[in-house]
Amino acid sequence: MRIQEGYIDFKNYKTYYRITNPQAKKYPLLFLHGGPGSTHNYFEVFDEIAEELDRPLVMYDQIGCGKSSMELDSSNFNQEFWTQELENLREKLNLENLHILGQSWGGMLTLSYCIDRKPRGLESLILSSTLSSAKLWKEEQYRRISYMEKEKQEIIKKAEENDDYDNPLYKEVVDEFMEKYSASSPKESDPECLRRNKNAGRIAYIKSWGQNEFMPTGTLSGFDYTDRLSEIKVPSLITSGSMDLSSPYISKILFDNIENSKWELFQYSRHMPFIDERKKYLKVLIAWLDNFK
């Protein structure tokens, strides 16, 4: 299968992009990764259905991670900067008509882009394990923390009070939480793209979100589009896992407020249903996109 790679200039930086099946006939599917700073790598699991979809699959590393520029003024790690990068990518790659799949932070970027910019050419959205409110996200994570053993709750509390995020006990508790609600460490049997070393954007994550998933303190801490979700008129598929960081309650708010939407809840999945239940997720995605150009 043909894969096209390259770089696009944006301001004084470079955005790395990767297109699978670039000569396909139907409108492309653009992937917006999570984090911020998580890289496109995990999206390569979708390569196997590129020909069946007959679409170009467009992936990129947002500036601040992966193969894109890493060294930049940290004040650029904000929603507006990454939105402008997205607009630049669409323009330079001639993505006039397209579908967008945004996962986690990528879904947040998708929501804000659609609501604030009202862009033309969007055929459909796939909002994967994402959120409309940082405040609600925080509430849901601390609700889950409240179910943990008291001693583990206390470890998290003390680390946050003392700004001590390098404490081994704290890291152990956070790893346990993320294993349960986000993802497992890659195994030898996992696809290569999951096992590959990735150039994660840790600074981008801390500056824009915070030290952990529980407590948004960065430039995205005030993110809240819940009251404006009704402005989205593009057909939208919401996907999430039953044990997802994006809890069923968070996903239901998206579903209840986006008029032309469908919600697929994956029973055995965490934050990446396209990994935990890959075959089912790919089937659902194929069925969704079959309804569009």
Host domain of residue 15:
3-133+185-289
For residues 124 and 260, give the distance between their C-alpha atoms in angstroms, rounded to a whole number: 10
Helix (H, G, I), strand (E, B), or coil: what is residue 201? coil
Would you say residue 153 lies in a domain?
Answer: no
In the chain, the number of structural domains is 1
Query: What is the value of pTM for the model shown?
Result: 0.97
164 is an active site residue: no
Q: Which residue has the tokens 């601390």?
A: 142
Would you say residue 165 lies in a domain?
Answer: no
Helix (H, G, I), strand (E, B), or coil: what is residue 197? coil
Helix (H, G, I), strand (E, B), or coil: what is residue 107? helix
For residues 33 and 4, give the distance between their C-alpha atoms in angstroms, rounded to a whole number: 18
33, 124, 271, 276: the catalytic one is: 271
The CATH number assigned to the domain holding 245 equals: 3.40.50.1820
Would you say residue 180 lies in a domain?
Answer: no
104, 112, 208, 261: the catalytic one is: 104
Residues 103, 34 contacting (CB under 8 angstroms): yes
Cα dihedral value 219, 115, 24, 33, nearest 10 = 20
236, 244, 247, 261: the catalytic one is: 244
104 is an active site residue: yes
185 is an active site residue: no
Helix (H, G, I), strand (E, B), or coil: what is residue 163? coil
**pLDDT (tens digit per residue) in 148-173:** 999 999 999 999 999 999 999 999 99
Q: Which residue has the tokens 């990735």?
A: 198
Taking only the tens of pLDDT, the chain with its 293 residues reads: 899 999 999 999 999 999 999 999 999 999 999 999 999 999 999 999 999 999 999 999 999 999 999 988 889 999 999 999 999 999 999 999 999 999 999 999 999 999 999 999 999 999 999 999 999 999 999 999 999 999 999 999 999 999 999 999 999 999 999 999 999 999 999 999 999 999 999 999 999 999 999 999 999 999 999 999 999 999 999 999 999 999 999 999 999 999 999 999 999 999 999 999 999 999 999 999 999 99
